[in-house]
C-alpha cells in the first residue's frame, strides 16, 4: 500500500518539470523532520522525504565513510537520469521527478561555492575569484582595461588613444654621424683584413639613404693612409658590391667624391690622382660601368680637379696591357713584394738621394716602402755604395743620411747594427772588387762614430786588413796541392 502511495505521489509531480533540488534552492522545501526512532519515510507538504544518515559522535562505534558526491547522468536521448552517488547506485529522487526518494544534504546548496556540475574536485569556483563581495583574484586589477566614460566631466579626449597606431621608428643619422660610426670599423679592418666583419658591422648602422656614403667614407679615409691600405680599400669595395651596396650606390658615392674633390685636395694634395686610381680599379673590378669614366659629360658640371681625376682613370684603362695591370695599381704592399724588388727600390732611393741631397724625400720614400723589418738592407746598401764610390763627399752624404734616419727613429738600432755586421761579413768579397775597401771602411766608421749612431759594439766587430790578410794566408796553407781557388 505504501509503495502505491509513493508511486502516485511521484507521478503527480512529473508534469511540474521542477525538481525538488530547484525547489530546495528556491526555499520552497521546508526543513525536514529528523526522527531517530522511525526508519520509514515521512511526508512534508505531500512530498515523501527520507531521513538523512545520522552523523554520530566521535565515540560512536560505527564506521565513518566519506560522503559521496551527487552526480547527474544523461542518457543518449538527452534525458537526465536519476542522481547517483559515487558508487553508481541511484539516489532517492530524480531531477525529472521519476523518483521521489530524495536525500536532503547536510547543508543548503544555496550557500555553497563549490562546483555543481559533478565534475569538480570540491575547490572554490574561479579559483576564489567569484562569489558575493569578491572583487577577483589578487593582482587581477592590473590586467583589467581602464574604462573611460566620454560623458564624464573629467574625461580628456586627448588621452584617448584608440585611433593611435604605434609603430617602430628608426631615427635617421646624419652623414657626419655615419662617418664617426664607420671610421673605427674601417680602421679596424686595416688591422684584421676581414671584409665579412665589415659588411656585418655596416649593416647594423646603414639605412637606405646612407648607402651611397659608404664609398665616400671608405675612400676619404684611405686617402690619409698608405698604398697598402688603399689596396685593402679597393678589395673591400669589391667585396661589399652586391652585399651591402649596389652599383647605383657606388656611382653616387664617386659622384659625391668628385664634387668634394676641391676640399679634399686641401688635406691631400694628390687626391685627384688617388681618386683616379680608385675609379680605374672599380671599373676593372666590374663595380662601375666604363661609361662612368669615358663619358664625364653625364655627371654634369665638374671642377678642374674632378676632370683631372677622370682623365687619370681613363688613361689607366686605355693602356695596352689591358685591365690586368690595374690589380697592382697601388703596387705590391710591404712584405708581399719579392726581396729583389725591395732591394732595387732601396738602391734607387739612395741614388736619388745622392743626386738631390733631399733627406726628407728619402724619409718619405722609405716610409712608402712599408718594410720596417727590412731596413737593415738599406744600411747594407748604403755602406757598400760608400765603399764603391771612393769619394769623401759620398761618405759625408751617406753619414748624414744614416744619422737622420737614426734620429727620426725610422731605422732602429738593431737594424743599424745588423746592416753593419752584414757588411763586415762580406768584406772578403768586397775587397776583391774594391782593394781600398778596408781603408775606406775604417774612415767611414770613424765618421759615423763621431755622429753618434754607431756604438762601440759595432766598432769592436769591425775587421782590419792585417787580420784579413793573416786569415787569407792561413787558408792558403790549409788548402792541399792540386786544388784551385775560385
Domains in the chain, ordered, with CATH?
175-328 (1.25.40.180), 339-461 (1.25.40.180)
What's the pLDDT at 13? Answer: 45
Quote the CA–CA distance of 353 and 34 in Å, as a whole number: 132
**256 with 306: CB under 8 angstroms?**
no
Cα 226 from Cα 274, distance rounded (Å): 11
Gap between the Cα atoms of 76 and 248, Å rounded = 75
CA distance 104 to 107: 8
Q: At 285, phi and psi to the nearest 5?
A: -90, 10
Q: CB of 72 within 8 A of CB of 81?
A: yes
* Grid cell digits, residue 139: 593582482
**Of residues 5, 85, 17, 81, the one with CA closest to residue 47:** 5
Are 363 and 410 in contact, with CB atoms under 8 Å apart? yes
Rounded-to-integer distance, Cα 252 and Cα 178, Å: 16
In terms of C-beta distances under 8 Å and separation of at least 24 residues, what long-range contacts does 388-393 make, across chains too? 388/433, 388/434, 390/434, 390/436, 390/440
**Backbone φ and ψ of 311, nearest 5°:** -65, -35
pLDDT value for 318: 87
Distance separating alpha carbons of residues 280 and 267, to the nearest angstrom: 22
Identify the pLDDT of residue 109. Answer: 58
Mean pLDDT per block of 10 residues along the chain (486 residues) reads 47 47 47 43 48 49 56 46 44 46 53 61 63 68 67 74 73 87 93 91 85 92 89 92 91 92 91 93 91 80 88 87 76 69 90 92 88 91 92 92 92 92 92 91 91 88 65 41 38
Using CA atoms, how far apart are residues 128 and 113, in angstroms rounded to an integer?
A: 9
- SS3 assignment, position 49: strand
Could you give the dihedral angle defined by the CA atoms of residues 298, 300, 304 and 308, in that order, rounded to the nearest 10 degrees?
-20
DSSP string, 241-302: BTTTB-HHHHHHHHHHHHHHHHHHHHH-TTHHHHHHHHHHHHHHTTSS-THHHH-GGGG-S-
Q: What is the pLDDT of residue 404?
A: 93
Q: Cα-atom radius of gyration of the chain, to the nearest Å?
A: 53
The span from the CA of 190 to the CA of 263, in Å, is 25
**Distance (Å, whole) CA 106 – CA 32:** 11
* b/e 367-384 (16+ beta carbons within 10 angstroms → b): eebbbeebbbbbbbbbbb
| pTM of the complete model | 0.48
Q: 3-state DSSP call for residue 93? A: strand
Residue 198 and residue 186 in contact, taking contact as beta carbons nearer than 8 Å: yes
Q: What is the pLDDT of residue 14?
A: 44
The residue among 71, 77, 73, 53 whose CA lies nearest residue 63 is 53
- The pLDDT, as a whole number, for residue 111 is 62
Query: In a 3-state reduction of DSSP, which class is residue 477?
Result: helix
Positive/negative CA dihedral, 182, 187, 189, 190: positive
DSSP secondary structure, 320-376, as one string: TT-GGGGGGTT---GGGS-HHHHHHHHHHHHHHHHHH--HHHHHHHHHHH--GGGHH
Q: Which long-range contacts (CB under 8 A, 24 or more apart) does 187-194 make?
A: 187/221, 189/232, 189/236, 190/225, 190/229, 190/232, 193/232
**Alpha carbon distance 140, 152 (integer Å):** 25
Amino acid at each position: 500500500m505504501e509503495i502505491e502511495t509513493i508511486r502516485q505521489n511521484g507521478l503527480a509531480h512529473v508534469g511540474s518539470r521542477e525538481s525538488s533540488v530547484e525547489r530546495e534552492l528556491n526555499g520552497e522545501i521546508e526543513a525536514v523532520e529528523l526522527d531517530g526512532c522511525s526508519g520509514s519515510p515521512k511526508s512534508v507538504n505531500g512530498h515523501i522525504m527520507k531521513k538523512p544518515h545520522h552523523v554520530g559522535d566521535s565515540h560512536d562505534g560505527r564506521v565513518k565513510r566519506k560522503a559521496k558526491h551527487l552526480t547527474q547522468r544523461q542518457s543518449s536521448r538527452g534525458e537526465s537520469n536519476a542522481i547517483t552517488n559515487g558508487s553508481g547506485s541511484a539516489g532517492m529522487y530524480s531531477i525529472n521527478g521519476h523518483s521521489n526518494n530524495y536525500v536532503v544534504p547536510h547543508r543548503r546548496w544555496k550557500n555553497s561555492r563549490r562546483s555543481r556540475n559533478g565534475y569538480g574536485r570540491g575547490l572554490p569556483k574561479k579559483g576564489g575569484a567569484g562569489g558575493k563581495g569578491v572583487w577577483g583574484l589578487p593582482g587581477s586589477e592590473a590586467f583589467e582595461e581602464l574604462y573611460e566614460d566620454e560623458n564624464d566631466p573629467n574625461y580628456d579626449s586627448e588621452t584617448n588613444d584608440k585611433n593611435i597606431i604605434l609603430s617602430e621608428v628608426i631615427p635617421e643619422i646624419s652623414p657626419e654621424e655615419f662617418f664617426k660610426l664607420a671610421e673605427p670599423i674601417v680602421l679596424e679592418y686595416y688591422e684584421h683584413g676581414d671584409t665579412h666583419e665589415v659588411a656585418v658591422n655596416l649593416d647594423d648602422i646603414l639605412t637606405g639613404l646612407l648607402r651611397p656614403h659608404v664609398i665616400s667614407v671608405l675612400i676619404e679615409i684611405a686617402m690619409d693612409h698608405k698604398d697598402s691600405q688603399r689596396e685593402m680599400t679597393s678589395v673591400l669595395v669589391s667585396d661589399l658590391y652586391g652585399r651591402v651596396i649596389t652599383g647605383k650606390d657606388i656611382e653616387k658615392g664617386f659622384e659625391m667624391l668628385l664634387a668634394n674633390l676641391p676640399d679634399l685636395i686641401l688635406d691631400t694634395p694628390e687626391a685627384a690622382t688617388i681618386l683616379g686610381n680608385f675609379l680605374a680599379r672599380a671599373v676593372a673590378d666590374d663595380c662601375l660601368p666604363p661609361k662612368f669614366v669615358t663619358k664625364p659629360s653625364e655627371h654634369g658640371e665638374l671642377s678642374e680637379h674632378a676632370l683631372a681625376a677622370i682623365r687619370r682613370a681613363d688613361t689607366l684603362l686605355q693602356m695596352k696591357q689591358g685591365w690586368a695591370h690595374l690589380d697592382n695599381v697601388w703596387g705590391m704592399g710591404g712584405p708581399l713584394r719579392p726581396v729583389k724588388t725591395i732591394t732595387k727600390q732601396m738602391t734607387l732611393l739612395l741614388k736619388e738621394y745622392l743626386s738631390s741631397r733631399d733627406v726628407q724625400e728619402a724619409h718619405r720614400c722609405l716610409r712608402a716602402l712599408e718594410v720596417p723589418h727590412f731596413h737593415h738592407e738599406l744600411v747594407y746598401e748604403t755602406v757598400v755604395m760608400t765603399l764603391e764610390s771612393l769619394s769623401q763627399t759620398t761618405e759625408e752624404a751617406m753619414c748624414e743620411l744614416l744619422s737622420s734616419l737614426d734620429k727620426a727613429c725610422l731605422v732602429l738600432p738593431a737594424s743599424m747594427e745588423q746592416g753593419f755586421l752584414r757588411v763586415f761579413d762580406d768584406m772578403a768579397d768586397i775587397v776583391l772588387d774594391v782593394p781600398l775597401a778596408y781603408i775606406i771602411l775604417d774612415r767611414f766608421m770613424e765618421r759615423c762614430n763621431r755622429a753618434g749612431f754607431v756604438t762601440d759594439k759595432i766598432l769592436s766587430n769591425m775587421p782590419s786588413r792585417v787580420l784579413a790578410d793573416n786569415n787569407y794566408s792561413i787558408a792558403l796553407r790549409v788548402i792541399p796541392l792540386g786544388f784551385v781557388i775560385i
